[in-house]
Chains A and B, each alone.
Chain A
Amino acid sequence: MNPGASNLGEPNATAIAFFLAFIAVTLAITWWAARRTRTTEEFFAAGRSIGGRQNGFALAGDYMSAASFLGIAGLVSLSGFDGLIYSTGWLVGWPVVLFLIAEPLRNLGRYTFADVVSFRLRQVPVRVSAAIGTLAVVSLYLIAQMVGAGNLVKLMFGISYESAVVIVGGVMLAYVLFGGMIATTWVQIVKAVLLLGGAALLCFLTLSRFGFSPVQLFAAAAAEYGPEVLAPGKQVANPLDAVSLGLALMFGTAGLPHILMRFYTVPDARAARQSVFWATGLIGAFYLMTFVLGFGAMVLVGREAILLVDQGGNMAAPLLAEVLGGTGLLGFIAAVAFATILAVVAGLALSGAAALSHDLWVSVHRRGDAPRDEQILVARVATVVLGVVAILLGILFKGQNVAYMVGLAFAVAASGNFPALVLSIFWRRFTTAGAVTAIIVGTVSSLVLIALSPTIMVDLLGRPEALFPLKNPALLTIPLGFAAGILVSLLKPEPSALAAYDAKERRMIMGSA
């Protein structure tokens, strides 16, 4: 493609039509869901009525953000093989969720992961610290999504950054406020089908030009840009950085509040197991397709043309769509990318609202005893608060390069939430003080080390050197979270928690029935 020949960024009738159709369908779903959302259980857990396969699609929808669709395709198109490190890393967290977390979580909790951590411990301290861990992860993730949404919509539809952020925040609020988890789940399912379908279509059209052989495509990329594009390059200049990022990706998924919350929407542990199986299959297929999309954009669009539109390469996939199917396909893919962000933001807001209302208001402030109407009212107020915060964060962080923020959200989730969750499920001698320390030490240490990292100090603040050498702190902070939890628990045993372990183990295996 000739550099500058793209229609990207001009108001595109197809894109607007597809996007309006998506909004119309999802708002109709919300209207339908609103009539089925009267109790807290329906608002936060879809009345536990979602099937295993449906929840698998919804998990995939919650997880496959625009960062993975646009970001990885862009990274592969610009740096070749190095981008694939992300494709694999973002999948390997899912087996961990399946083996260690999904079924115990479903059997032990109701709405949030704090339910599980606090199961046989003292409610107030554990809930407060788990809510802090949840809100830290949700805020970082929200910033990445909202700023991404603003930039993306500006690039693709030509409307202003601020209006894009307000549109995303407003539509998301409509889904969550009225339709709760039922609407959010179906929005995720629609989005997952659209995103997987769009990616598969792009793959098919790309491969049709290379005799339906990915290897021929890779060979064409190597012929044009040299064999380096098929080999590790400068992204892995520092091996410790690669390992640290890998740890964050592998164990962060199991600490993401909006992912964990999805396991409460299914009727039992068996359905929870089935849903991760489906999610792993769908997400793995998606990341395999990013191999083809990235190299396809490299060859068919060309690096020069991709860089001309966006220095980060984020427009590689939409540009590829334009080359393959003209303005019509560009419009479709642009609308899919926007829908993707909208759905992820809805899931995040709902999990943040659950931490505010179920953990902080009902369990801490009301000591677990609040009337039904009050619970649902507080849940809705918390949703509005989260929606406004999301819009404000989006506008506040305008112009910042936030591509790294999803990686950092994973680091905080892996260091703060994951150790406390695993220890509370599997370790008999875990205590209240241990849980609080694990969450606070893991969350605070990862946030502090991020602030002292080259990403913030050198890239953002322009200092010559950073106080902490790693871009991602997980290599240090995950062991720190575990060590803090274990050490404090061993120093000061909690007999009542120890005595309650057998009952917890029975419920973890047999379910609540």
Chain B
Amino acid sequence: MNTGDDRIRALAAARWRIAIALSGAVFLLYFGFIFAVAFAQGLMAREVAPGLSVGILAGALVIVGAWLTTWVYVRWANLHFDRQRGAIDGDGQAG
């Protein structure tokens, strides 16, 4: 096995780790919300300001959290993944 294949395998493994970590984060965020809705109804009903309950705030934060995790991934992929991929590609063609 040449080094190109090793580097592809390492890059695939790195991508897999990021994908699983971020999927896990979204999973915890959303099911944290669902479980709070199901089992902590008193807390969710509390109003932090007149008209703004913890539940509504949490729902909006789930959407913002989903945005943030996609942003984190796209940033990692654009900066790190694409550069490594380009490096493997360049070496492959040179050699």
Contact = CB atoms under 8 A, between A and B. Distances in A.
B74 A242 contact: no
* Interface size range of chain A in the complex: 35 or more
Contacts, number: 152
Given A81-B56, A88-B62, A92-B26, A230 B51 contact: yes
Contacts of B19: 99-100
A242 to B, nearest CB: 5
B30 A246 contact: yes
B41 A231 contact: yes
A99 B66 CA distance: 12
Interface string B8-37: 110110011011101100110111011101
* Interface size range of chain B in the complex: 35 or more
A284 B67 contact: yes
A228 B51 CA distance: 11
A484 to B, nearest CB: 21
Contacts of B82: 270
Interface string A497-513: 00000100110111000
A219 interface: yes
B49 interface: yes
A343 interface: no
Dominant secondary structure of chain B at its interface with chain A: helix
Contacts of A215: 49-52
Contacts of A231: 41, 44-45, 53, 55
B50 to A, nearest CB: 5
Interface in B37-95: 37-39, 41, 44-45, 47, 49-53, 55-56, 59-60, 62-64, 66-67, 69-71, 73-74, 77-78, 82, 85, 88-89
Contacts of B12: 505, 508-509
A85 B37 contact: yes
Given A85-B34, A230-B45, A232-B37, A505 B8 contact: yes
A277 B67 CA distance: 8
A243 interface: yes
A509 B85 contact: yes
Contacts of B37: 85, 232, 236, 242
B55 A94 contact: no
A218 interface: yes
Contacts of B5: 502, 506
Interface of B: 5, 8-9, 11-12, 15-16, 18-20, 22-23, 26-27, 29-31, 33-35, 37-39, 41, 44-45, 47, 49-53, 55-56, 59-60, 62-64, 66-67, 69-71, 73-74, 77-78, 82, 85, 88-89
16 contacts: A85-B59, A92-B26, A95-B23, A219-B50, A231-B44, A231-B45, A232-B38, A232-B44, A243-B35, A250-B27, A270-B77, A281-B70, A284-B63, A502-B5, A506-B5, A509-B12
Given A95-B70, A218-B52, 19 more contacts: A81-B55, A81-B59, A84-B56, A88-B63, A92-B26, A100-B19, A215-B49, A216-B51, A222-B51, A230-B52, A230-B55, A231-B44, A243-B35, A243-B38, A246-B34, A270-B78, A276-B70, A284-B63, A502-B9
Interface of A: 81, 84-85, 87-89, 91-92, 94-96, 98-100, 103, 215-222, 227-228, 230-232, 236, 239, 242-243, 246, 250, 270, 273-274, 276-277, 280-281, 284, 287-288, 291, 426, 502, 505-506, 508-510
